[in-house]
Amino acid sequence: MKKKTSTIQRVFRYLGKYRILLVLSLALALVTVAGQLYIPILQGDAIDYIIDEGNVDFAAIMKIIVVILITTGAVALFQWIMNICNNKITYSIIHDIRRDAFDKLQRLPVKYADSHSTGEIVSKVIADVDQFADGLLMGFTQFFTGVMTIIGTLAFMIYINWRITLVVVLVTPLSFFVAAFVAKKTYTMFKLQSETRGEQTGFIDEMIGNEKVVQAYGHEDEATDRFDDINLRLQKYSLKAIFFSSVTNPSTRFVNNVVYALVALSGALSVVRNPLSFTVGRLSMFLSYANQYTKPFNEISGVVTELQNALACADRVLDLIEEEPLSPDADDVLVVRQGEGKISLTNVAFSYDKEKELIKNFNLDVKPGQRVAIVGPTGCGKTTMINLLMRFYDVDEGSIKVEGKDIRDVTRKSLRDNYGMVLQETWLKSGTIRENITTGKPDATDEEIIAAAKAAHANSFIKRLPDGYDTVIGEDGGSLSQGQKQLLCIARVMLCLPPMLILDEATSSIDTRTEMKIQEAFAQMMKGRTSFIVAHRLSTIKSADIILVMKDGNVIEQGNHEELLAKGGFYSRLYNSQFS
C-alpha cells in the first residue's frame, strides 16, 4: 500500500496543472447530482397527489412532469460538459506523462538502455500509459459523482427518516470491506500482468528483429516454447486479475440488495403505523434515495478494481520518469570548440559491474592528427574505450582530457560535436535519404550532401533509388542492404568532418572492392584529424600511427605495425593467424 500511495501522489502532481478544469468538473458533478436527487422529490410529490383522498390533481401533476423533464435535460447537458472536462484532463495528463517519459529516455544514461530490453521500454510508454488512461478516465467520470451521490442521498434520507437511514448506513459498509479485500489481490495481479506484458512485448520485438537468425539456426521451436511460457504466465495473471476484479461487483450488489429489502420492509411498516407523517410518496422518495445511495458503491467498487490496473501501469511508467538522469553539466562547465584533437587518458579505470574489473590503470597520449587503432579479442574492452571517449559512461578512476580539459568539465554536446562516429551497427531513422545524411548538419546544401555521398561511394546507389535523395526509407533503413545502410552512415560523417573520428568496424558490412575505396576516402578524411579505429581485420589498420593491443581490459602492447610485428608478441600472432 505504501508503494500505491506514492503512485497516487505522483499522479496528483500531474493533475495539479489542470486544477481549473478539475474544479469545473467537480462543480458540474455537484450540479448533476443535485439534479438527480431533486427528481425523486418531484416523483414523491406526484404520487401523493395521485393518492390524496382519491382526488387526482392533474394540473399539479403536469407541472411536476414538466419540471422533471427540464431537470432531466439539464442533468444530461451538465453530464455531457462534465465528460468533456474529464476527457480533457485525462488525455492531457496522458500527453504529459508520455512527453516526460520520452524526454527522460533522451536524458537517461546509456547504461539504462543497455540493461533494459527495447520491448519493455516501449511497453511502458505505450501499453501501460493506455491502460492508465482507461482507469483514470473511469475514475473521473464515476468516482467523484459516486461520492457526491452518497453524501447527498444520505442527507436526504436522514431528513426523511433517520431511523431507517440508520439501517442503511450500518449494513452498506460491508461493500467496502469486500472491495478492500479484493483490491489487494487485484493490484498484485494487475502489476504482474503489466510486467509480463512488457516481457512479452520485448520478446516479440527481439524475435521479429532477428527472424532471419531464428530461421537460419532452426530456433523456431525454442522461440515458440519460450513465447508459450510467457504467454501462459500472462494468461494466468490476466485471468486472476479479471477474476478478483469481477468478484467485487456481484458481492457489493448482493449487499446492496439486502439493504434495499430491509429499507422497503422498514418503510412499509412505517407507512402502516403512521400514514400521515410517512406517506407512500415519502416512502417512494426514500426507496429511490436508498437505491441511489447503494448504486455508487457498485460503481466505485468497479472503479477501484479498474484503478488497480491503472495504478499498476502508472507505477511502471512513473518509475521510468523518475529514473536517475545523466548528471547535468555544471554551471561553470566549459565548451570545447573545434579543437586540434589532442587527447590524453591518465590512470583510467572502469567496469560495468563494479565487482568485475575490466579496464584498469589505462594511460594514453594522442597527438593531434594521429591515427590510433584498437585491436584485441572480443570482450577485451575496445568498444568500452569508445564509450568512455564519447562519455556515454564516466570513468571510475583517472581522467580523460580533450585539448587539456577533463571531459567531465565540458558540456557533453560540445564534446560529442567534436567526434564523428561510424559504428558496426548502423542507425537510420524513418525519413528521406537526405534527412539521414544531414543528421549532424541539417543546414547542409545539396552540393555538400552530394559531395559527401560521393566521398562515401553512396551516390551511385542513391541515384538508382525511385526518388534519389528524396527517397523515403523506413525504420532502420527499410529495404536497403546492410552495406548500403553503412555507406549512408559514412556519408553522414563525411558531411560533418569533425576534428576527431571514431570508426568501430566501419567497413565490416561492405564488399572488399568498395571497402578499398572507402579506406581511400577514410585516409583522405583522416588527414589532420585524430582518429580511433576499432578493427578485427588487422590488414585495415597497418597505416595507424599507434596500435593499442588490448586483452582483458589492459593494453598489453603498443606501437606501430612494424614495431609490433618485430616484437613477435600477441599482435604478431594475431596478425599472422589471419593469413595462415
Q: In this structure, which amino acid lies at residue 538?
A: L
Q: Where residue 2 falls among pLDDT bands split at 50, 70, 90?
A: very low
Residue bearing the bigger pLDDT, 511 or 567: 567
Lowest mean pLDDT across 68-77, 79-88, 289-298, 360-369: 289-298
In this model, does residue 495 exceed pLDDT 70? yes
Q: State residue 509's pLDDT score.
A: 63
Burial group, residue 308, by CB count within 10 angstroms (0-12, 13-18, 19+) = buried
pLDDT of 51: 60
Decide if pLDDT at 31 tops 80.
Answer: yes
pLDDT, residue 280, reads 62
What's the average model confidence in pLDDT over 480-491?
A: 82
**pLDDT band (50, 70, 90) for residue 569:** confident
Name the band, by pLDDT with cuts 50, 70 and 90, for residue 77: very high
| pLDDT for the residue numbered 270 | 63
Per-residue pLDDT reduced to its tens digit, 222-274: 888 888 888 898 888 888 887 877 776 676 667 666 766 666 666 666 656 66
List residues bridging with 532 in a β-sheet. Answer: 372, 502
* SS3 label, residue 367: coil
398, 402, 405, 409: CA torsion to nearest 10: -80
pLDDT of residue 260: 66
Total Cβ atoms within 10 A of residue 416? 19
Please indicate whether residue 394 or residue 252 has the higher confidence score (pLDDT).
Answer: 394
pTM beyond cutoff 0.95: no
Domains in the chain (CATH in brackets) are 2-321 (1.20.1560.10), 423-497 (3.40.50.300)
Which pLDDT value is given to residue 579? 62
Lowest-confidence segment of 124-138, 426-440, 507-521 by average pLDDT:
507-521
Lowest mean pLDDT among 49-58, 320-329, 525-534: 49-58
Query: Which of 101-115, 351-365, 502-516 bottoms out in mean pLDDT, i.e. has the lowest?
Result: 502-516
Q: DSSP for 305-329? A: HHHHHHHHHHHHHHHHHTS--PPPP
Average pLDDT, the chain: 78
pLDDT digits (tens, 9 = 90+) for 4-27: 457 778 888 888 888 888 888 888
pLDDT tens track for 412-429: 888 888 888 887 777 788
What is the per-residue pLDDT for 256? Answer: 65
Q: Which of 353-357, 407-411, 475-479 has the lowest mean pLDDT?
A: 475-479
Q: What is the pLDDT of residue 547?
A: 87
Q: Which residue has the higher pLDDT, 214 or 562?
A: 562
Of residues 254 and 393, the one with the higher pLDDT is: 393
Give the pLDDT confidence score for residue 1 in this predicted structure: 44
Query: Are 221 and 266 within 8 A, CB to CB?
Result: no
The C-alpha cell that represents 329 in the structure block: 553539466
For the ranges 95-109, 152-166, 171-185, 407-421, which has the lowest average pLDDT?
A: 171-185
Query: In the predicted model, what is the mean pLDDT of residues 146-159?
Result: 79
What is the 3 state secondary structure string of 531-570?
EEEECCCHHHHCCCCEEEEEECCEEEEEECHHHHHHHCCH
Q: Is the pLDDT of residue 559 over 70?
A: yes
